[in-house]
Chain A
Amino acid sequence: MPIDKIFKDDASEEKGERARMASFIGAMAVADLVKSTLGPKGMDKILQSTGRGHSVTVTNDGATILKSLHIDNPAAKVLVDISKVQDDEVGDGTTSVVVLAGELLREAEKLVTSKIHPMTIIAGYRMAAECAREALLKRVMDNKENAEKFRSDLMKIAMTTLCSKILSQDKEHFAEMAVDAIFRLKGSTNLESIQIIKKPGGSLRDSFLDEGFILDKKIGIGQPKRIENAKILVANTAMDTDKVKIYGARVRVDSMTKVAEIEGAEKEKMKDKVNKILAHGINCFVNRQLIYNFPEELFADAGVLAIEHADFEGIERLGLVTGGEIASTFDNPESVKLGHCKLIEEIMIGEDKLIHFSGVAMGQACSIVLRGASHHVLDEAERSLHDALCVLSQTVNDSRVLLGGGWPEMVMAKEVDELARKTAGKKSHAIEAFSRALVAIPTTIADNAGLDSAELVAQLRAKHHNEGCNAGIDVISGAVGDMEERGIYEAFKVKQAVLLSATEAAEMILRVDEIITCAPRRREDRM
């Protein structure tokens, strides 16, 4: 009796060469997909969702592209995963990591076809990755001590990151904004305190960083539109009916008058609460939950600005900027810390009215208002800015920087090449392949810019033969140039993460010699 029935019906099994082939091809296909977005002259992709409305996203961000793909190939999923992690961890380099992993696998495939065992390749790759990291570490620059220089480093990093994005036209403007915002965070990496507000209209150049805090809400009717020296109470409390929370409590009455009485009591209770809030001596009240008409009216009467329904992060951020605490009970007004700001006013951006808090006590949070022609532009601008902010915030903690424009890859490739020459045994082939994969990144950058990549990379390699050379590909002028002069910098942390996770992913895929696919779970037909 044949024993081909070990697995369930639809399950499939692929072994050895076939399995390896399937994962190589899948991974390379994904890498090729995002390859054309790499570098300052990379192209964008349009993503159309299959959901209702077929919403369209135009993006250049590797992680965003990969996130929205529906992939069936398991090896390709590994690559999508690393790009996602890169996004979460350092925020930028999401395309590079996938391209590098893809190139590593492409080189590995050639080695496998020339009968080198995957384990040997892995051993070689590991040695090469370690050596490449050392090479980078040798060449890092650290300007942490010199505040002015550090700032200019950050500016350059931000500009390098932004130049591959939609914001490249106004990169100086945006880099300035991003660096300012990061300095306000004072070393924390919590990007939530930087609020990005998108308002269609105007042009990208009109975007600005606001010192204070902007809340996308309207001021209640009949309440003051402008408050100077505001004392703000930030609260999270129910301002609707304020139910009795004791479980099982319910109102049971037997006459209309009693209903009226209880209603009166309820109102009284609300009024009490409002009075208690007012007793804090505030002139602005911001609540996370709804404020009903009745209390709103009471606030208006007292000349207090009441803002309802601020979202949760908004509240936290507001607490952070104004230095107030988020209150839910109001019995001891003297001990609740109120927030302060110099001026609250309603401002208009485009057609929308927003509430602007300026002159805040603690400047930890800030708002960036993005303007742009359409939603797509704004979304992409937000993603780009987010990338820049992420990189900057990581760089503030780890202030080591490198040059950009393919420079780090060439430095690594040179060291790895030397290692390959020194290494005896089959591993040296793998190490050599690693260096080839590294060179593929500047090649791709040049290709995407429509330059003669073979020529440029050869020139670059020749230049890097000299110790301490700063040459990289200058896409703007289309030639090999000094990256330090051009001010193209990258964060060390990003490069290191790209290198390590790409190697890790390639290793993982290489180790696989069998793919077992389970039968897809059947959806119950509920017809």
Chain B
Amino acid sequence: MALAFDEFGRPFIILREQDQKTRLRGIDAQKANIAAGKAVARILRSSLGPKGMDKMLQGPDGDVTISNDGATILEQMDVDNQIAKLMVELSRSQDYEIGDGTTGVVVMAGALLEQAERQLDRGIHPIRIAEGYEMASRVAVEHLERIAQKFEFDVNNYEPLVQTCMTTLSSKIVNRCKRSLAEIAVKAVLAVADLERRDVNLDLIKVEGKVGGKLEDTELIYGILVDKDMSHPQMPKQIEDAHIAILTCPFEPPKPKTKHKVDIDTVEKFETLRKQEQQYFDEMVQKCKDVGATLVICQWGFDDEANHLLMHRNLPAVRWVGGVELELIAIATGGRIVPRFQELTPEKLGKAGMVREKSFGTTKERMLYIEHCANSKAVTIFIRGGNKMMIEETKRSIHDALCVARNLIRNNSIVYGGGAAEITCSLAVDAAADKYPGVEQYAIRAFAEALDSVPMALAENSGLQPIETLSAVKSQQIKENIPFYGIDCNDVGTNDMREQNVFETLIGKQQQILLATQVVKMILKIDDVISNSEY
């Protein structure tokens, strides 16, 4: 621990409880940080690509997650190291921004760190390395822009979109029925997409899972699925042409927010109160009936009496529907959420062609389907699967596929996957390196080398000879000057990614490179780590 001394030679205390803290400085700090970052990347490395393996994570409460999704693995991993946490953040921001490529970004960052370590050993200053990386990443991003291709599709011809989603899904456990899931994802996105504004609000797609059945039973419902049943067992289970009153007020006696007391001191008062109460329920139900509602969906509970009155008046009702679902129902059916009975009007009712209750399996699981809605802008993807873990993993995979489809609608430029984009970037960066005078040249070359590590990991995970395969593809790209050659992970026999239909979105790839570079720069700039040692 470095100590400062004053002019009399007495030690200064700079940090509070200095002797209890460990401190790493200079090159040691960088080395330690790089090692930590690499360790995280190494964990994810084997999950990359269509033949990547899964990780089994046991949470603090003994719950088991099996996943292949980088962001999920890192999030559940419970890391303690600061740099490792940065990597977790990195993958998370890729997840938020793009939704896919969360593993790739971490592997990329790990490779960049590894290369940086070598440059440090050569005695190049970390800041110079960081600057070199920055330049290189710019070159790579520009290069990607150049080679990107426009990707044509429209609502009637969504086949290309399905192909892209299939690429994403092929690395997940669900790849057994990736075709149908990809179609579901694309149809869902197209259903809610605003093609003019090129925007997709993914909140309108609800992903609901239920254990049981098989993966093939997963379906897309043009409407809403609510995990609730009718409040009274004898209400009709199927309603056609439903007019839905969406309420956020309970079918219960009023509860003003201000404190109040109703004092009963005479028999008359008792009687009137009783009468009023009955009338109150009656009025509530009557109001719903008056505006022409044929189904009531309520966020709160019902009193037993109200429940029976509803039943009696032939007004089916659903209670305890969650806020998010309520909003979705409102959007889908074109209704308005009504906070008070007094404000119910016929215009505020939502309309749906069909509402039905469906039961599953041998248990009494029931769900409510709201279909053929007035405004079919909200859809539900209903996942079935052998067990809970499978469903959770499918949910994550579907989410990735949805994000990819959305990104393509936002920006329809694509680059080719299977490592093709990385290889061509690596070539471009390598070529650009020679033009830079100065130390940065080395850093830029290192960047090119790091880019190679992604296809390398892909080849490794697919059981191919990594170095041999990579060099073959590289030379092929240079010889024919075509940036479409990648690693043939699925053993199809060709490494032309156009033929294999393996692509990724341009923004996704760019984002990966930019984010990874940024984090690596940040890590390289740290030269002092002060941490509380064991206490």
Contact = CB atoms under 8 A, between A and B. Distances in A.
A123 B309 CA distance: 58
Which A-B residue pairs are the 10 nearest by beta carbons? A328-B308, A513-B53, A521-B60, A3-B35, A249-B262, A511-B54, A89-B212, A501-B386, A518-B78, A81-B387
Nearest to B262: A249
B55 A7 contact: no
B262 A250 contact: yes
A252 B273 CA distance: 14
A458 interface: no
Given A247-B255, A511-B53, A72 B62 contact: yes
Given A504-B385, A514-B43, 16 more contacts: A3-B35, A6-B79, A85-B388, A88-B361, A245-B303, A249-B261, A249-B273, A325-B234, A329-B305, A508-B66, A508-B389, A512-B55, A512-B56, A513-B55, A515-B57, A518-B77
Interface in A219-266: 236-238, 244-254, 258, 261-262, 264-266
A246 B275 CA distance: 11
Nearest to B310: A328
Contacts of B80: 5-9
Nearest to A513: B53
B364 interface: yes
A383 to B, nearest CB: 13
A89 B217 CA distance: 13
Interface in A6-40: 6-9, 11, 13, 19, 23
Nearest to B281: A329
A355 to B, nearest CB: 21
Contacts of A13: 43
A78 B364 CA distance: 23
A82 B387 contact: yes
Contact of A516 (B56, B276, B390): B56
B305 A7 contact: no
A507 interface: yes
A104 B53 CA distance: 18
A190 B229 CA distance: 14
A350 interface: no
B290 interface: no
A325 B387 CA distance: 38
Given A7-B80, A511-B54, A326 B233 contact: yes
A85 B54 contact: no
B386 A500 contact: yes
Interface string A113-133: 000011110000010000000
Given A7-B79, A190-B359, A236-B304, A518 B267 contact: no
Interface stretch (B24-32, B115-123, B138-146, B474-482): B24-32
Nearest to B234: A325
Contact of B364 (A192, A262, A508): A192
B359 A85 contact: no
Given A78-B387, A91-B362, A394-B362, A244 B273 contact: yes
* Interface of B: prevailing SS: mixed
Contacts of A252: 263-265
Given A7-B77, A326-B233, A329-B308, A85 B39 contact: no
A119 B463 contact: yes
B56 A237 contact: no
Given A91-B362, A245-B252, A390-B362, A251 B265 contact: yes
Nearest to B28: A1
Contacts of B271: 265
Interface string A52-85: 0000000000000000000010110110011011
B389 A245 contact: no
B307 interface: yes
Nearest to A83: B387
B32 A1 contact: yes
B362 A264 contact: no
A468 interface: no
B253 interface: yes
A247 B254 contact: yes
A244 B277 contact: yes
Contact of B265 (A3, A7, A253, A269): A253
Main secondary structure, interface of A, reads: mixed
Contacts of B270: 244, 251, 262, 265-266
Given A119-B51, A262-B264, A326-B232, A515 B58 contact: yes
Contacts of A269: 274
Interface in A317-349: 319-320, 325-329, 331-332, 335-336
B261 A250 contact: yes
Interface string B45-57: 0100001011111
Query: Could you say which interface size class chain B belongs to?
Result: 35 or more
Contacts of B273: 244, 246, 249
Contacts of B54: 508, 511-513
A316 interface: yes
Interface in B462-514: 463
Nearest to B58: A517
Counting chain A CB atoms within 10 Å of each CB, the highest count among B234, B255, B276 belongs to B234
Contact of A7 (B78, B173, B253, B255): B78
Nearest to A253: B265
A394 B311 CA distance: 31
Contacts of B304: 236-238, 328
Given A244-B274, A508-B173, A518 B60 contact: yes
A246 B277 contact: yes
Contacts of B390: 504, 508
Given A393-B362, A511-B54, A520-B60, A246 B276 contact: yes
Given A248-B260, A252-B265, A511-B54, A319 B305 contact: no
12 contacts: A3-B36, A88-B362, A119-B53, A244-B274, A246-B254, A258-B265, A326-B308, A328-B304, A332-B312, A508-B173, A514-B55, A516-B56
A81 B389 contact: yes
A236 B64 CA distance: 42
Nearest to B235: A325
Given A500-B386, A508-B389, A85 B211 contact: yes
A81 B264 contact: no
A277 B67 CA distance: 59
A266 B276 CA distance: 16
Given A5-B81, A78-B66, A89 B232 contact: no
Residue with the greatest number of chain B CB neighbours at <10 A, chosen from A3, A253, A265, A319: A3
Nearest to A425: B491
A184 B439 CA distance: 85
A72 B63 CA distance: 10
B157 interface: no
B339 interface: no
B363 interface: yes
Nearest to B216: A500
A91 B363 CA distance: 9
B17 interface: no
A158 interface: no
For B62, B213, B263, the residue with the greatest tally of chain A CB atoms inside 10 Å of its CB is B62
